[in-house]
A and B are shown apart, each in its own frame.
Chain A
Amino acid sequence: MSIVMEGQNPSPSAELFVPASFDRAKADEIDRPVVGYWREAWRQFRRNRMALAGLIVLVLMGIMAIIGPHLNGFDYRTQDLYNMYAPPSAEHWLGTDVLGRDVFTRLWYGARISLLIGIFSAALDLLIGAVYGGISGYFGGTVDDVMMRIVDILYGIPYLLIVILLMVVMGPGFWTIILAMGLTGWVGMARLVRGQVLQLREYEYALAARALGASHWRILFRHLLPNSLGVILVNVTLTIPGAIFGEAFLSFIGLGIPDPMASLGTMVNSGYQVMQAFPLQLIVPAIALSLIMLGFNFVGDGLRDALDPRLRK
């Protein structure tokens, strides 16, 4: 470029050219270091600030849910009827509730219950939904038709009805809520996985596995479901807050975790009844609940991007 501009030498002479060396053996060498799938996903995930913040919040909440109830020497059920609705103090860090129980301890105990409900019902969803949807999508045809009609019927039954029925049969409690969430929640997962598998089974790698003699189970569990993992995982991280919120809702209408156990939902419920006199009773569990919900939603979004190989750089 500069040669032309100076006007001395309009056409570059042949001596200026040096042949580039070309080594056939190295023509298509891969320079990049070997990076595993999960490490790569983690690298992508870290780039997303919101997702990382969500993850940190969740980890902190998780740690506190484990150790929080043991930090200030109270337990979640001991009442102190001379000391109701106490304001925050050195002794009761976040005050006490209507029965004089320590709010700080109950808060983390409640977070523990809420998180467990979320995780267990998401696990149940995953187990039933992924297998059911996988089978339905993979075998297709009549199998798919029948299985999906069943799903449609289940989808049509109001979820509250199932919950109330279960409460009647099993009595209200931790496991009843998980079972109720699991029984109603897997339907969405099943549909999602079915759609994914339906699409993936036409890929040539599924055919290649068949040609190699892989069994149906091997193709489904080694190829198709792992390749749906991104979608599944994202759905799980979005199901957990759904279940937590669902529990909070059930608690709010009086179908939740029975006293003296606590969940964030029951705390919000009892807090809102006195919110004009003692706003802290509502604000504290509501903030914790919101943080958990936001955390899971951000992590879910981050995972969706990180696990999609098409978005890889």
Chain B
Amino acid sequence: MSTVMTAGKPQPHSASKGLPARTGQQPLLQVEGLRKYFTLGRRRILHAVDDVTFSVCRGEVFGLVGESGCGKTTVGRTLLGLYTPTAGRIIYDGQDVTHARGQLRREFQRRAQMIFQDPYASLDPRMTVADIVGEALDIHHLARGAARQQRIQELLELVGLSKEHASRFPHEFSGGQRQRIGIARALAVNPEFLVADEPISALDVSIQAQVVNLLAELKEQKNLTYIFIAHDLAMVRHLSDRVGVMYLGQLVELADTDELYREPLHPYTQGLLSAVPIPDPRAEKSRQRQILQGEVPSPINPGPGCRFRARCPLAKPICAEVSPPLREARPGHQVACHLYD
């Protein structure tokens, strides 16, 4: 377990296979060829997630970034079984949980939980904080009566709320506090894996840091593994060990955080990173920004070829015909782009 604790700082890569080779241990979560299509009506199929493959190691923070509507949230929700995947496999700790039911599903629910994006919509306005946090305890029959009370207090204190808050209703809290309640709810079952779905995007900047720090503390304290979904590249860099970049339902680049930010390979990632402002006016002025042209195309019935080609400054004829697979361009650095064939 000691290897887990050091996961906060990225370690040098051992040049093994494409999978994260940080410790050489088996990944906690493997996602293979995950697809999720939504049928919108006759012949209109929204390809929300299209053939996404990655894996997450124990104790790691895996960042997932991309524009709005690129399928990040769908990936997170499908992973936890909130949506039924159209195709692909989800393997958690060696077990296939893609279509898990009954006992296996319940066990998975106790080990993997989710933090939601909108702290205003993710708490039932009719329930007290105690009932919100305690719901998981009731569902999984983990604690009753005084023990339940006790556990709820522990959880509230763990996330920086006080036990007096237990009898309050969600609308009495600020956004940051609500997000803490959401975190307490996710932690109630003592999970080891959390999908944090843009947990800070709805918060004020001043509160964002608090929540991110709380997540980081909890990770250390409880040996958690995160998938951190966000569109704030700076926050992702701060928190993640590895980052996957999504575009229109597909993973276009995947690398260690430092590597990715130092040397983005995919033209889309380059564009994204170039949009991040540098907090130094002189550097900001002198640098060459690469501004992406055009709009994100519709994910409904996408044609063949690379989905980024319409906006790609370096598109080649092949890009219109063949969809580039995600493959290793450098050791541990995967990219889906014909420029690196």
Contacts and interface: CB of A to CB of B under 8 A. Distances in A.
Interface in A32-46: 32, 34, 37
B311 interface: no
Contacts of A204: 116-118, 121-122
> For chain A, what secondary structure do more than half of its interface residues adopt (helix, strand, loop), or is it mixed?
helix
Contact of A213 (B136, B174, B182): B136
Interface in B143-177: 165, 167-169, 171-174, 176-177
What interface size band does chain B fall in? Answer: 35 or more
Interface string A26-57: 00101010100100000000000000000000
Contact of A212 (B136, B168, B172): B136
Contacts of A309: 125, 171
A157 B78 CA distance: 43
B9 interface: no
Contact of B109 (A32, A211, A218, A226): A211
A312 B123 CA distance: 17
A126 to B, nearest CB: 18
Given A34-B168, A208-B116, A213 B140 contact: yes
B259 interface: no
Nearest to A202: B121
Nearest to B125: A309
Contacts of A203: 121-122
A213 B114 contact: no
B185 A30 contact: no
Contacts of B121: 203-205
B173 A30 contact: yes
B106 interface: yes
Interface in A186-238: 203-205, 207-214, 218, 223, 226-227, 229
Nearest to A212: B136
B162 to A, nearest CB: 9
| Interchain residue pairs A-B with the least CB separation, the first 10 | A204-B122, A213-B109, A204-B116, A205-B124, A212-B136, A204-B121, A211-B114, A226-B126, A203-B121, A213-B139
Given A28-B176, A205-B123, 7 more contacts: A34-B167, A34-B168, A208-B114, A208-B185, A210-B82, A213-B139, A214-B139
